[in-house]
Structure 1
């Protein structure tokens, strides 16, 4: 008997023909799964469809769309034993890339059909689901500038073009970062808190090896003093990510923790898994091993912290006897 599965499909994701893509997915999966197929709409999102599927008692949930669709669908499954399948059809496809899931429909379906699962971390940011990352400052401004029309026309290059434009408006802000055991204050232009992130998400690559099943979140601080410094910092992050080595610049820092509270002055825009959600302050916490997912697995450990050299840096250690 075939397993029951809910397929959540976003028809406006990506640049392809959605009807044709859905037919390909059905042809590949229906021999092994009894598929319940639901399309997202402006009124009903992937999270609602996924929650309903959980309540119906399906044996697997599969989502096809961009990172926002995948994030919303995944979080209804956190804490359950329901495996989650990913078929990416978005612009960045960062979640699939972070988990080393192929970005073609055929190969992604083969991962699901193989049936191998791993438990990976999930997270919440201000009560909202997060499977990838939260970006504060420069990254949020860049994502906001790359609208849907630009992404349809240029694909991933829409983010690159928006980033180049945003460099003209590069601004620093004061930030306070609180973890379980310390409070860090510094000056930054971009803060990224990552649960999972591929090398292409360069502003998350301080430790250059985001570990998605260690029960911790990775925070990267980028604090260039000029536009030229920002370009140099971005190039350094790209280089270290490609070689899986940690950063070595005074204007880039990173640390790991299970939870972060972040305040910025002035308040900064925040992007969560590719979607704008408002402004700081934010609270982010990890849900260790919260999500069972069809995914190949291979991760290496990397250094836990580097803060030295950041501008206007202070670190206050918290008393472990207090809350």
Structure 2
């Protein structure tokens, strides 16, 4: 039995969404690949299909906007968290649902939402799953779905070897972090919802929309993507020993129990660094900056999720 026969037209009800668009990172893989995806959608009864492939995730927003201009009522995103972030940035506030096809390495947003990592199952969720309006964060003018931050995590992401990450999962981040990242302390000032919250030496500032972040580590135990707020974390760990203790505590228990971590929750956050720091959104590195402006956008993105 082919994958395309696993979803019947009456189950998918494609008439509810009208035109369906696929925006795919052609270098990412899932199941039988993009050929299987097309066959599955056709087998499910999708008749009006827009198809776009990109070689880099930063080219995806242009394709998403083109699909919206052509009347897409549902956008399938094929790729990892970086691809999802770029597409979410374009879809924010439009009301057009995003269906995630988790073809990346970590797929943290899909994992946090329970989207299955098999192609027929993910397509089924996209066509007939429930639509949830979820929050997005917005950092320096760009949206993120999972997390963003500056300092240690930005360096860690840049250092993690892709082959090692694929083999070891979350341990790859810990391994490369402890080997290559010094976790330098920089004077950091954080204001949350207009009030001073942190002023001191810090090695990392994180903003979480969901609980599980880079490397599959459960960093924000109480985070929910539909509560209208973002989790804010500051780490003061410096050096391999401090970070080993911090990451170990995060992986084994509650993050806020670490002596090197402070966590709170807010809607508008501003951060100032004494020295420029590289920041990242959903695993994608950005330029160095001395200031971060972050806010939550409640219900900004509609996402196809499993019924349960």
So what's the TM-score if we normalise by structure 1?
0.81
Distance 2:218 2:140 in 1: 19
SS of residue matched to 1:210:
coil
Q: Which moved more, 1:28-37 or 1:271-280?
A: 28-37
Q: CA separation in 1, counterparts of 2:250 and 2:166?
A: 27
Q: Per the alignment, do residues 48 and 212 of structure 1 end up closer, same or farther by CA in structure 2, a change over 3 Å counting?
A: same
Instruction: Show the 5 A alignment for 1:53-68.
Output: 53-68=67-82
Match of 1:45 among 59, 62, 69: 59
| Superimposed CA distance per residue, residues 111-150 of structure 1 (whole angstroms, 9 cap, x where no aligned partner) | 1132311100012211122112112111100111135566
- Which residue number corresponds to residue 239 of structure 1? 252
Structure 1 segments unaligned to the other structure (5+ residues): 299-323
Alignment partner of 1:217 is 2:227: no
The offset of 1:252, in angstroms, is 1.0
Instruction: Note if 1:23 corresponds to 2:35.
Output: yes
Q: Does 1:267 align with 2:289?
A: no
Q: 1:56 Cα deviation (Å)? A: 1.5
2:112 paired with 1:98: yes
Determine the C-alpha separation between the residues in 1 that align with 2:57 and 2:98.
23
Classify the secondary structure of the residue corresponding to 1:294: strand
Shift of the 230–153 alpha-carbon distance from structure 1 to 2, 3 Å rule, reads closer
Residue in 2 that maps onto 1:251: 260
* Residue in 1 that maps onto 2:22: 7
Q: What is the alpha-carbon distance in structure 1 between the residues aligned to residue 215 and residue 241 of structure 2? A: 20
CA-CA distance at 1:200 after TM superposition = 5.9
Q: When the two structures are superposed, what TM-score results if normalisation uses the length of structure 2? A: 0.84
SS at match of 2:20: strand
What displacement does 1:43 show? 9.5
Distance 1:156 1:28 in 2: 32
Q: Which moved more, 1:80-89 or 1:217-226?
A: 217-226
Q: In structure 1, how many angstroms separate the alpha carbons of the residues matched to 2:131 and 2:190?
A: 34
Q: Secondary structure at the match of 1:287?
A: strand
CA distance in structure 2 between the aligned counterparts of 1:137 and 1:101, rounded to whole angstroms: 30
Residue 241 of structure 2 corresponds to 228
- Contact 1:122-1:291 within 8 A present in 2 as well: yes
Cα offsets for 1:199-254 (capped at 9, x unmatched)? 6656771x4132101111111112125532221111111122xxxx5622332111
Q: In structure 2, what is the equivalent of residue 196 of structure 1?
A: 210
Number of corresponding residues: 289
CA deviation map 1:249-270 (0-9, x unaligned)? 3321111111211112222111
Instruction: Give, in whole Å, the separation in 1 of the partners of 2:239 and 2:161.
Output: 26
Aligned with 2:302: secondary structure?
strand
1:286 and 2:296 aligned: yes
Matched residue SS, 2:251: helix
**Cα deviation digits, residues 157-195 of structure 1 (max 9, x gap):** 65344223224x232121111122312212222211112
**Structure 2 Cα separation of the partners of residues 286 and 62 of structure 1:** 24
The equivalent residue for 1:111 is: 125
Moved more, 41-50 or 247-256: 41-50
Q: Quote the Cα distance in structure 2 between the aligned partners of 1:219 and 1:12.
A: 33
Secondary structure at the aligned position of 1:76 is classed as helix
